[in-house]
Structure 1
């Protein structure tokens, strides 16, 4: 939609995944009577146009002959899905940690302390260097079909530095997270640093963020320190979320549920009690299987969580140390192969699940009224996202009605 006031019909859709419960299954029956997350239409079309708020939205969906519109985009039988919602990234940073990755592949264990390497490089980088890297990563994520991305700070470990990172993040997304308590910097002890985060950093950065996060883990922050950080953020009006259970089971999930965190992220190591808590709460379990791939950790067991009634999201955790990728299709493939998810569940978790983790109701689906965020997949069904791992299947990415990525030439044609 070159002109946001125009209507555009996307026509000749082979499979349209809407996540609209009023629509039928299009991806096959689920085993054991579990809910189907692949609702949508075949032989479909959808109309995009301005909503009452001026934002481009889904106006109508249907099958058969498409209605008239100001413009037509014929996708020639391709699959159309909601744009991916990447609810956990660390995209503003400098430096390279490929040597650390190579060492892990040779047998060295992953340790949270490697974050300090990125903090040093990020502190030394100019604003233009950071901005160029961020823009490049956003462009990469658009090529992967991602239309919404959350971005955390966390690679400065000082008040002014974290504010700098959040300002840059806000240039490319409205979903920014203060992660001042990412790791303890070498120049101060943990308790003193937590006091700085609580008393100085959070009040100074609150207007630049929508959420607050903490790395509650061995080698980072313990449960009491994490509670102090999250409560300070909540007092400042930020929605709490938490890094939980990446390296070992611990108290982070219980803390997340107690404080009403929007999400508990990683969830690689969970006790039965953790699973039950997540299943009976509104806290989303956000899984980051590309991280477990890159760190040679065990994969999280999504099946346990889903069977317990938990809401599961999938995200990339794009960062330089433990998951340097924005390939959401890879995340889906890992979730299907190694986390015991079905393809419809994984696709829902990478779209509507991420939206739930961000507490956003108008993204992650293509029901009438949704924001016009979608991806065209060059495949007859979305199963190909996992069936053909590593293949560049995203043909077009549309954010808020605008084509932001096109693999096969500009649209509309000249």
Structure 2
């Protein structure tokens, strides 16, 4: 690939010597998330990237780019790593627009509306669920998202949860068993029986199609799960070979954050209500705090204080929580804009949280950055800088790059 007179590229990283390489050039600003480049997002200006297969093979200044078999010119645009959406509930049926309208009229969200999605999802056939999931994933990619986590949790039966995870696994390797989403109506008087079902037969049916186990730990919500119930489900899931994540501290102060740190969960998601002990626990542990500002937008709830977490040294991720009830949006760019406007993050911090932070929340080192060896997931912005993601909210600036 490299011809006579090609520079030795001392300012680039890696070696581009394999056949069938693609040179992506015309990048006015490249967010690499490479700590070696300094700053929050490892910016490189007037950059180029060489891709071999599905991997990044070289990154550096465009003036020193090696030859390649193909060239893609993005025309003076900024490029960021593909967004990593580490929290979605994207396989479901039904519509909850009426619930949204009621909240906008002043009703408080308490988690109870999930039951209507459960009923619709149970009644839908595979083709309908598959089509809905694919539509949402296409929306995500059209806005720059290249890695997506998908949870179950809208069937709450053994066969139903296994079905949702099988469908999700067709689309992503990041699948999460969330049988402990809410208590289904048929178990309203038998909490212990349902927890044992989740931790036993349901888990056994779902584990082959899942990477993660999750639980909605909100003792103040009558259909969610307390710390002991959540610990039991997480323990059974990890014993079955799954890795843990937690829904916690969304509706009020509670044990979810500290339970996540105690159990070594990769991520605790929502983190809307935190006290000093919660922040200290996250700071001392490895659990990522995944913030979901589109939920606060949709529920008129207080926004999490990302600044407090970042200043304490906590790793923060941003995700959409795409679901039909509290965040029916697939837009990571909007999540970034809200994080900057409402959660006291800088644009660079928000972009980092939506890329490298999401990768950390999924314990992935092959996505969320543009460094040698990473997946070649590039998102092109119709803008000269990543700052425009927050500067121009609601404008369709981002798209995942599809290579020829």
TM range (shorter): over 0.9
By how many angstroms is 1:380 displaced? 0.6
Q: Which residues of structure 2 form unaligned runs of 5+?
A: 1-17
What is residue 40 of structure 2 aligned with on the other side? Answer: 37
By how many angstroms is 1:214 displaced? 0.3
What is residue 28 of structure 1 aligned with on the other side? Answer: none
Task: Work out the CA distance in 2 between the residues paired with 1:130 and 1:203.
Answer: 22
Runs of at least 4 residues off by over 4 Å:
none
Task: Work out the CA distance in 2 between the residues paired with 1:92 and 1:144.
Answer: 19
For each residue in 1:307-355, what CA deviation from the matched residue of structure 2 results, as whole angstroms up to 9, or x when unmatched? Answer: 1111100000000000001100100011011111111111000000000
1:316 to 320, 323, 348: 320
By how many angstroms is 1:295 displaced? 0.5
What is residue 18 of structure 1 aligned with on the other side? Answer: 32
By how many angstroms is 1:5 displaced? 6.5
Q: Structure 1 residues 5 and 213 mapped into 2: Cα distance closer, same or farther (>3 Å)? A: farther
Task: Work out the CA distance in 2 between the residues paired with 1:364 and 1:358.
Answer: 10
TM-score normalised over the length of structure 2: 0.93
Task: Work out the CA distance in 2 between the residues paired with 1:352 and 1:5.
Answer: 29
By how many angstroms is 1:67 displaced? 2.2
Task: Work out the CA distance in 1 between the residues paired with 2:337 and 2:152.
Answer: 28
Task: Work out the CA distance in 2 between the residues paired with 1:359 and 1:291.
Answer: 23
What is residue 209 of structure 1 aligned with on the other side? Answer: 210
For each residue in 1:126-168, what CA deviation from the matched residue of structure 2 results, as whole angstroms up to 9, or x when unmatched? Answer: 1111011011001000011000000000000001000000000
Q: Which residues of structure 1 form unaligned runs of 5+?
A: 25-35, 51-55, 404-410
What is residue 53 of structure 1 aligned with on the other side? Answer: none
TM-score normalised over the length of structure 1: 0.90
By how many angstroms is 1:270 displaced? 0.7
Q: Is it true that 1:356 corresponds to 2:351 in the alignment?
A: no
2:333 to 329, 332, 339: 329
Task: Work out the CA distance in 2 between the residues paired with 1:330 and 1:304.
Answer: 21
What is residue 33 of structure 1 aligned with on the other side? Answer: none
What is residue 107 of structure 1 aligned with on the other side? Answer: 106
What is residue 10 of structure 2 aligned with on the other side? Answer: none
Task: Work out the CA distance in 1 between the residues paired with 2:296 and 2:77.
Answer: 31
Task: Work out the CA distance in 2 between the residues paired with 1:281 and 1:64.
Answer: 40
Over aligned residues, Cα RMSD in angstroms?
1.1
Matches within 5 A, 1:84-123: 84-123=83-122
Q: Structure 1 residues 239 and 337 mapped into 2: Cα distance closer, same or farther (>3 Å)? A: same
Q: Structure 1 residues 289 and 192 mapped into 2: Cα distance closer, same or farther (>3 Å)? A: same
Task: Work out the CA distance in 2 between the residues paired with 1:5 and 1:208.
Answer: 35
Task: Work out the CA distance in 1 between the residues paired with 2:342 and 2:106.
Answer: 21
By how many angstroms is 1:203 displaced? 1.5
Matches within 5 A, 1:180-329: 180-188=179-187, 189-217=190-218, 218-219=221-222, 220-329=224-333
Task: Work out the CA distance in 1 between the residues paired with 2:260 and 2:130.
Answer: 32
What is residue 50 of structure 2 aligned with on the other side? Answer: 47
Matches within 5 A, 1:391-402: 391-394=395-398, 396-398=399-401
Task: Work out the CA distance in 2 between the residues paired with 1:260 and 1:215.
Answer: 16
By how many angstroms is 1:40 displaced? 2.1
Matches within 5 A, 1:53-72: 56-65=54-63, 66-72=65-71
Match of 1:22, SS? helix
By how many angstroms is 1:187 displaced? 0.5
Question: Is the Cα contact below 8 Å between 2:35 and 2:41 reproduced in 1?
Answer: no
Match of 1:369, SS? coil
Question: Is the Cα contact below 8 Å between 2:152 and 2:179 reproduced in 1?
Answer: yes
For each residue in 1:333-378, what CA deviation from the matched residue of structure 2 results, as whole angstroms up to 9, or x when unmatched? Answer: 1101111111111100000000000000111000111111110001
Question: Is the Cα contact below 8 Å between 2:93 and 2:121 reproduced in 1?
Answer: yes
Q: Is it true that 1:132 corresponds to 2:131 in the alignment?
A: yes
For each residue in 1:62-117, what CA deviation from the matched residue of structure 2 results, as whole angstroms up to 9, or x when unmatched? Answer: 11333211111101110000000000000000000000001100101111111111
Task: Work out the CA distance in 2 between the residues paired with 1:94 and 1:317.
Answer: 16
For each residue in 1:31-60, what CA deviation from the matched residue of structure 2 results, as whole angstroms up to 9, or x when unmatched? Answer: xxxxx312121011000013xxxxx11100
Task: Work out the CA distance in 1 between the residues paired with 2:251 and 2:290.
Answer: 15
Match of 1:367, SS? coil
